[in-house]
Amino acid sequence: MAHDITADILIIGTGVAGAMAGAKLAARGLSVAFLESGKRIDRYDAVEKFWNAKIKVPESPYPNDPEASHPLSHRIEDFYQQSGPELFKSTYIKVVGGTTWHWLGTTLRNLPSDFRLKSLYGHGVDWPLSYDDLEPFYLEAENEIGVAGDSTEDLGSPRSGEFPMPQIAMTYLDKHFASALDGTRYQVRATPQGRNSLFHADRPECCGNNSCIPICPIQAKYDATVHIALAEQAGATIHDQTTATKLNVGENGEIGSVEFRRADGTTGTASGKVVIVAAHAIETPRLLLNSAQENAPNGVANSSDQVGRNLMDHPTRLSWAEASEPVWPYRGPLSTSGIENLRDGDFRKQRGAFRIEIGNDGHSWPTGAPATTAADLAAQGLRGGELDAAIKDVTSRQIRLASLVEQSPDAENRVTLDPDKRDANGIPLPRIRYDFDAYTRNGLEAAEKAHEEVFAALGARNVRHSPEAQGAGHIIGTTRMGSDSASAVVDADLRSFDHRNLFLLGSGTFPTSATANPTLTIAALSLRAVDAIAASVK
């Protein structure tokens, strides 16, 4: 079979997992080729598209071409074929650089206990590696991303070195929360973030644009195009608008080739001594399951029947209120502080833990403010100077909290292939079955009570809670790692148990969700896998 694309290492996906590993492998002199469904993005054009979008959601600055289609937050059942009982609400995009284009930038580490949930609390499963195994790679990931943080606060995750940059300053709103909560069990701390607090790595410092989700206009916030550029400088090639459609297993059980389809309809095959799938936790199982064949009848890498299973998010309790005095939201990144000291304890035997994110974005997430604020006040009959004064007053007091709740791994929460609907590349759309167990629901209830207490300490009024859990944008599970090939898809090096030259990178490999936003752990695990990947080529 003639191969259109050949390399030592073939990487499917250009998000943070693939880009970071690819840059490191190319720097070692290995030939690296990327396949990416989406296009390269021009930041200026994307910002313009966002400004002009009538519906402003995380996906609005980016293309959603038929050949690189993805879910949309405001039309979640168009792409995901959902069978309930709960809707899975978290999304991703297909562009060069992946979903880091619209991530918030939060770069928390997991806690040491997060790797031992079963051993410590009798719930979920343990990871096949420890916090100490991953700690040096957490530090390396923070340096690669360029994390701004307070090195004197480890937030429960012991550190062997300092952050590369000082913290992003806490906002006036953050300090108001910290002052009101001083002496309570709620400790407000600066959030480590993948955005520059100083000019760093040829990128400017954050200037406080309040649009981190969906786009940083100046690239103060890290995105994976940083590592794509480093990979290209080291000789890697990027094949954009090129969708992997099937992995072919050779007689020796290794991945022999990858079939692809370009946006113009042409097709071809690619091969690598090592194949890495780093296509996020919906697209990775979708590709593996679509690759079912004679010597992989259940799908590639799926002898355990775990591919697609244990889909998780951080179901989010969203609450909002009005402070008793002006706190001046809508300044700085969307969130600069949080409450991180509630993420562990014996309560994890009964319910999920959570972290509380303090928002700088007023009521924009829950209500669509400030535009809706103006409309509501105008509907009350206010006009002219009176309306102007009311908008300023109400907007200045808008506060919101979002608690990201630990979700249990559940084999029945899963991604499968839809039997009827296919995309423009002929791949079945993902079918999702999703629910929350009692452990997760108990965590959501505890989060709402915590929000009530926090708002009470602030003397806030008009407290409201979203009746439904929100998606955090964190797609976790579906290709879990473990120490046993019967119950996991990959080992601690992220190597497939079934195919020795196949590695699966990304949050799909997490055995449990923990409570930290996943990007830093994705990056650390990818960096840790580099040695095993490079050794496999040789």
The pLDDT score that the predictor gives to residue 59 is 97
Residue 30: φ, ψ to 5°: -85, 145
**Tokens 């579906």 -> residue:** 478
Domains along the chain with CATH numbers: 5-44+89-537 (3.50.50.60)
What share of the chain in percent tops pLDDT 70? Answer: 100
Q: What is the pLDDT of residues 119-146, one digit of tens each?
A: 999 999 999 999 999 999 999 999 999 9
Q: What is the pLDDT of residue 3?
A: 78
CB-neighbour burial class of residue 385 (10 A; exposed 0-12, middle 13-18, buried 19+): exposed
Catalytically annotated residues: 474
Quick: pLDDT tens for 379-409.
999 999 999 999 999 999 999 999 999 999 9
Q: Mean pLDDT across the chain, nearest whole number?
A: 97
Which residues partner with 405 through β-bridges? 354
Residue whose C-alpha is closest to residue 9's, from 355, 354, 398, 270 = 270
DSSP letter at 405 equals E
- The pLDDT assigned to 1 comes to 58
- Residue 538 pLDDT greater than 90, yes or no: no
pLDDT level of residue 251 (50, 70, 90 thresholds): confident
Please name which of 444, 355, 350, 423 lies closest in space to residue 86, comparing C-alpha atoms.
444
pTM of this structure: 0.98
Residue-level pLDDT at 243: 98
What are 29-70's pLDDT values in tens digits? 999 999 999 999 999 999 999 999 999 999 999 999 999 999
Q: What is the pLDDT of residue 343?
A: 98
Contact 106, 192 (CB under 8 A): yes
Q: Could you give phi then psi for residue 12, rounded to 5 degrees?
A: -100, 110
pLDDT at residue 45, as a whole number? 97
Closest CA relative to residue 407, chosen from 318, 519, 311, 306? 311
